[in-house]
């Protein structure tokens, strides 16, 4: 009897976990992992009009972090820009790491915001710290960390510049400091009957190949060793997935690529990639709501 979908999924997950262990991932994980602090919705001020309040709601419901020091009126006048907080040498490893908004001003500027830096570079974007957070992919694109608003891979000639992981394939695993990633292509662009045009959940209808521009870029990353910027999205069903929005988790290298049979009745081939995080970066906060 052929294995069920669930059995195939578990077998693939187990195989991928063993692959990552073989790449030496365990040594990268800190003994005590920091916790993401929950953010709270900003309260309406006494002088705020109905129109202003509703406008704030439309702007992704701006929030403040309860772990941040109380801002002075002078600092609020200076800027509404909040930098992401990395752990310092004086902080304990289990200190909660707040999800902090990198650039609140981008809510009002929308797609017309001019980029300060070119996203088509390998490595960190100047001024963007590991742990920076955005409410939308658009704002992340504006800050040049991951240019595509929808696509998961930003391809370049000598490898991918960045990837976004949001849990699109059920047999991919995310161990934070390493993860497996399924490539692009092979899905029905019409989506499904219940979710038309939802490309992320559309079924595989053909084989993926390394000739696809995005998959070719990730394969090239294996060959060149160029670092890839990684952002994690709130849809990611992993303890490392942020509770909201999108977070920059630093630089990774693509250690391996291969093709294997994907899940589902069709048994179409998919391109797979193994990412490992570079050492010397701030630890990744764990989302308590997604543990276990």
User: What SS3 state is found at 108?
Assistant: helix
Letter string b/e over residues 209-241, b meaning 16 or more CB atoms within 10 A of that residue's CB: ebebebbbbbbbbbeeebbbbbbbbbebebbbb
Rounded distance between C-alpha atoms, residue 59 and residue 54, angstroms: 9
* Beta-strand relationship, 246-261 and 269-277: antiparallel
Rounded distance between C-alpha atoms, residue 198 and residue 176, angstroms: 26
H-type alpha helices, the chain: 5-22, 50-58, 73-78, 106-109, 137-142, 213-224
CB atoms within 10 A of CB 253: 17
Tally the C-alpha atoms within 13 A of residue 235's C-alpha that lie toward its C-beta: 11
Beta bridge partners of 165: 232
Helix (H) or strand (E) holding 134: strand 132-134
Minimal CA–CA distance to 252: which of 133, 164, 128?
A: 164
162, 214 in Cβ contact below 8 A?
no
Token couple for 222: 């294996």
Rounded distance between C-alpha atoms, residue 245 and residue 232, angstroms: 8
User: What SS3 state is found at 199?
Assistant: coil
Rounded distance between C-alpha atoms, residue 198 and residue 49, angstroms: 37
State residue 164's pLDDT score: 96
State residue 27's pLDDT score: 80
Token couple for 141: 């694109």
State residue 202's pLDDT score: 64
Query: What 8-state DSSP symbol labels residue 232?
Result: E
pTM: 0.72
Kindly list the structural domains of the chain, giving each domain's residue range(s) and its CATH number in brackets, ordered by start: 5-290 (2.30.280.10)
287, 239 in Cβ contact below 8 A?
yes
Dihedral angle computed from the Cα positions of residues 117, 214, 23 and 249, in that order, rounded to the nearest 10 degrees: 30
Matching residue, tokens 């693509």: 254
State residue 74's pLDDT score: 37
* Beta-strand relationship, 132-134 and 100-101: parallel
Q: 180-231, pLDDT tens digit by residue? A: 999 988 666 565 566 665 555 566 678 899 988 899 999 999 999 999 999 9
The ranges of the chain with pLDDT < 70 are: 1-2, 38-113, 168, 186-204, 263-266
State residue 250's pLDDT score: 98
CB atoms within 10 A of CB 52: 12
State residue 44's pLDDT score: 41
């Amino acid at each position: 009897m052929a294995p069920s979908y669930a059995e195939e999924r578990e077998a693939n997950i187990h195989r991928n976990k063993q692959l990552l262990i073989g790449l030496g991932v365990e040594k990268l994980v800190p003994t005590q992992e920091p916790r993401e602090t929950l953010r709270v919705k900003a309260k309406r001020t006494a002088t705020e009009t109905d129109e202003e309040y509703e406008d704030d709601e439309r702007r992704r419901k701006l929030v403040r972090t309860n772990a941040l020091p109380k801002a002075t009126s002078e600092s609020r006048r200076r800027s509404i820009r909040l930098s992401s907080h990395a752990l310092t040498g004086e902080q304990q490893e289990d200190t909660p790491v707040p999800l902090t908004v990198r650039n609140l001003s981008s809510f009002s500027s929308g797609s017309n915001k001019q980029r300060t830096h070119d996203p088509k570079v390998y490595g960190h974007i100047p001024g963007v710290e590991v742990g920076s957070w955005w409410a939308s992919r658009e704002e992340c694109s504006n800050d040049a960390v991951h240019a595509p608003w929808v696509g998961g891979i930003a391809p370049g000639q000598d490898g991918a510049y960045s990837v976004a992981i949001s849990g699109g394939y059920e047999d991919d695993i995310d161990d934070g400091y390493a993860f497996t990633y399924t490539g692009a292509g092979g899905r029905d662009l019409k989506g499904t009957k219940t979710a038309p045009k939802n490309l992320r959940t559309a079924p595989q209808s053909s084989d993926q190949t390394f000739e696809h521009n995005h998959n070719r870029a990730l394969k090239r990353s294996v060959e060149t060793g160029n670092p890839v910027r990684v952002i994690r999205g709130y849809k990611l069903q992993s303890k490392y997935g942020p509770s909201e929005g999108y977070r920059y988790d630093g630089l990774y290298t693509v250690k391996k690529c291969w093709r294997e049979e994907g899940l589902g009745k069709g048994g179409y081939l998919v391109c797979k990639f193994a990412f490992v995080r570079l050492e010397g970066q701030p630890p990744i906060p764990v989302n308590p709501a997604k543990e276990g």
